[in-house]
Structure 1
Amino acid sequence: MLQQYKHILVPVDGSYEAELAFKKAVAVAKRNDADLHLVHVVDTRAFQNISSFDTSMVEQVTETAKKTLDKYVADAKADGLDKIDYAIEYGAPKTIIARDVPRDNDTDLIMIGATGLNAVERLLIGSVTEYVTRTAVCDVIVVRTDLDNQPAKAAHPAE
């Protein structure tokens, strides 16, 4: 019997690599008749050292994430995928993506971009992707290529 995934999670942060993971996840979800759950995590630790912290900053980040996620949902539906939803979570992205969301959504596959937006965090405390691949309770696919299986860097020469 072939492995069939039913509940696919895709963390998105607005990066090109996350968009590649999203596009591939739509294709996998359609082939498996699976539901696709997108998650964007607002890293609240980034706001801890701001002395003039104010909720309007979090609201602004949340509104931007919501617009991005709404576009992803519209794109997936235009591509023929109906079983798609999203959540915006707050906290530490690593544990939310690797454990909390998969547990709460019965996730059996996480499709995640090879790198995200935050190069500083990668240097100082390690990448979210690396953590997820080590600690997730389900299968993880790290997406490094576009839909034509071309390396992401070749498809996105600006980097």
Structure 2
Amino acid sequence: MLQQYKHILVAIDGSYESELAFQKAVAVAKRNDGELDLVNVVDTRSFSNVSSFDTNMVESVAATAKKTMEDYIDQAHKAGLEKVTYSIEYGAPKTLIARDLPKKLSIDLIMIGATGLNAVERLLIGSVTEYVTRNAECDVLVVRTDLNNKPALATTKAPKKQAPKK
């Protein structure tokens, strides 16, 4: 039996990894005649640490997110995909992406970029991607490669140190 994904959720956070997830999701949606739901989650917990919190900060973040999402919608349309929507959500990205939005939107596939966190950051705060893969009730595809299936994170590794010249 051929699995077809009709409702695909893509988490967009502005990272290179989420860009790759978007590009691959467009291709999957086109092949399956599916719908693409893009989401950007504004982590409201990060604002609780700001002592001079004001609504202008939230409005600025939301305006930037809206512009980014509209650009992605435009890219999807130019690629030939018509069924594309987006939402900007507020709250905890982990639970919104893994549980709440898939139920609300009848998602059957979540496509998400591989984590950009280092080992220490993952240990301390945990990765959204890791949480989604462990807790989502639908299929999750973690995108680690570009459209040519070349490792996306290969370019982010530190360059090798050269031996000192004698």
TM-score, reference length from structure 1? 0.93
- Residue in structure 2 matched with residue 30 of structure 1 by the alignment: 30
Take 1:118 and 1:80, find their aligned partners in 2: how far apart are those partners? 36
Give 1 or 2 for the bigger CA radius of gyration. 2
- Which SS does the other structure have where 1:37 is aligned? strand
Aligned-residue offset at 1:50: 1.5
Aligned-residue offset at 1:122: 3.2
Matches within 5 A, 1:4-153: 4-116=4-116, 122-153=122-153
State the Cα RMSD in Å. Answer: 1.8
- Which SS does the other structure have where 1:115 is aligned? coil
Aligned-residue offset at 1:123: 4.2
The residue type paired with residue 3 of structure 1 is Q
Aligned-residue offset at 1:139: 0.2
Aligned length: 158
Aligned-residue offset at 1:49: 1.9
- Indicate how the Cα distance of structure 1 residues 132 and 157 shifts in structure 2: closer, same or farther if over 3 A, else same: closer
Q: Which moved more, 1:50-59 or 1:105-114?
A: 50-59
Take 2:116 and 2:64, find their aligned partners in 1: how far apart are those partners? 17
- Indicate how the Cα distance of structure 1 residues 116 and 71 shifts in structure 2: closer, same or farther if over 3 A, else same: farther
Take 2:132 and 2:95, find their aligned partners in 1: how far apart are those partners? 8
| Alignment check: 8 A CA contact 1:11 1:111 kept | yes
Take 1:59 and 1:118, find their aligned partners in 2: how far apart are those partners? 30
| Alignment check: 8 A CA contact 1:13 1:116 kept | no
Take 1:75 and 1:142, find their aligned partners in 2: how far apart are those partners? 21
Q: Give the ranges of 4+ consecutive aligned residues of structure 1 lying more than 3 Å apart after TM superposition.
A: 116-123, 156-159
Take 2:135 and 2:10, find their aligned partners in 1: how far apart are those partners? 16
What do residues 23-50 of structure 1 show as CA deviations (whole Å, max 9, x unaligned)? 0000000000000000000000000121
The residue type paired with residue 94 of structure 1 is K
Q: Which moved more, 1:111-120 or 1:33-42?
A: 111-120
What do residues 48-92 of structure 1 show as CA deviations (whole Å, max 9, x unaligned)? 121211011011011111111111000000000000010000000
| Alignment check: 8 A CA contact 2:117 2:127 kept | no
Q: Which runs of 5+ in 1 are unaligned?
A: none
Percent identity of the aligned residues? 72
